[in-house]
Amino acid sequence: MELRQLQYFITLCNELHFSEAAYKLGISQPTLSQQIRVLEDAVGVPLFDRIGKKTVKTEAGVILERYALEIFQKLENAKSAISDLTELHAGHLRVAVLGSDLDYRLTPLLVDFHKEFPHTRVQVISSIEIAEMVLDNEVDLGVGLSLKPDSRLQRIPFYTESYSLYVDDGHALADREYVEAQDLVGIPFVMYPKGFYGRQLLDSWCTEQEISIQTIMETGSATSLLQLVKEGVGATIQPSRLIDSFQSLRIRAIPITNSPIRELAIIHRNDKYMGRAAQAFMKRLEQSFHPSV
């Protein structure tokens, strides 16, 4: 059994189509078929069933895929560990983050990180499918709302924050020191669309508080939401600390009694090697949310 054959096998597992897998690998279909047969001879059982034009993994194929992916992950870990020994910190760090408000807190962190690791290419990807991207090895780290426990993932909570009501200076509630859940009923709101984690959190909180809020406009950008608030289109409910990034808009963030709470966490695969650059990024992330640390 050769690594090259396992790579062919994994590609076919992903495509489940011999022609497409061969095209992705840059080899002919007969060559791919022959190498898969060699691999099946080595393990002693069929790895795929060919049903007409359809290709499906057998039970043995599913098992081999799991272990083959672990093999390639360990090889990647070894390469990363050896690269760390050079102390050049070259490489590629991929981070998936929740969009919207987290974007504004990451820029200072990225500047400081680049000064320490100038040879490391950093790619920050905005997504609401963070756990899936981490599990599929599309990214090295995920930063977002704390998730349900998953044995495949390491979860590191690093910050918990409340939410506030954001209104323009001329709003009827602008001078309030705090608001109750009932005060939100009847206010026109501009909010994230359904499907965003922040919106899901708020919808669940409203259900718990036995209230319903009126949404008149939805957008996936924190900047546009707060611009709409500034222009008096509506109010919004956002993490309390977000006001730090938008002081110039002259809007008010009013604490909400018993507000929604979100716990932010860093997640990564348990079996993935976390090099010096990744560890430094995680440490800086915690420090950026806890400046006194």
* Claim to verify: residue 221 and residue 272 sit in the same structural domain: no
Q: Do 170 and 254 belong to one domain?
A: yes
- Is the Cβ–Cβ distance between 9 and 68 less than 8 Å? yes
What is 138-195 written as a DSSP string? Answer: S-SEEEEE-----TTEEEEEEEEEEEEEEEETTSTTTT-S-B-GGGGTT-EEEEPPBT
Note whether 195 and 104 are same-domain residues.
no
Task: Look at residues 83, 108, 139 and tell me which one is the last residue of a structural domain.
Answer: 83
List per-block mean pLDDT (blocks of 10 residues) for the chain, which spans 293 residues: 87 89 91 90 90 86 90 80 62 83 78 89 88 90 83 89 93 94 96 87 94 93 91 94 82 94 90 85 85 51
Same domain, 251 and 274: no
Q: Looking at the structure, tell me whether residues 198 and 115 fall in a common domain.
A: no
218 strand-pairing partners: 191
List of residues 6+ apart from 34 with CB closer than 8 A: none
Query: Measuring CA to CA, how many Å separate 111 from each of 93, 120, 127, 219, 290?
Result: 14, 12, 21, 28, 17
What's the CATH code of the domain at 31? 1.10.10.10
Q: How far is residue 217's CA from residue 233's CA, in Å, rounded to a whole number?
A: 9
- Same domain (yes/no): 151, 269: yes
What local confidence, expressed as pLDDT, does residue 100 receive?
Answer: 66
Question: What gap in Å lies between CA 131 and CA 137, rounded to an integer?
Answer: 10
Domain boundary pick from 34, 61, 83: 83
Number of domains in the chain: 3
Domain-terminating residue out of 83, 113, 140: 83
Query: Residue 234 is part of a domain; what is its CATH number?
Result: 3.40.190.290
Does residue 270 share a domain with residue 138?
yes
Strands 54-57 and 48-51 turn out to be: antiparallel
Q: Give the pLDDT score at 171.
A: 94
Residues 74 and 46 in one domain: yes
Q: Could you tell me if 140 and 126 are in contact, meaning their C-beta atoms sit under 8 angstroms apart? A: no
What integer pLDDT is reported at residue 293 of this predicted model?
41
Please indicate, yes or no, whether residues 148 and 278 belong to a single structural domain of this protein: yes
Domain that holds residue 124: 89-158+263-289
Same domain, 271 and 132: yes
CA distance 255 to 178: 5
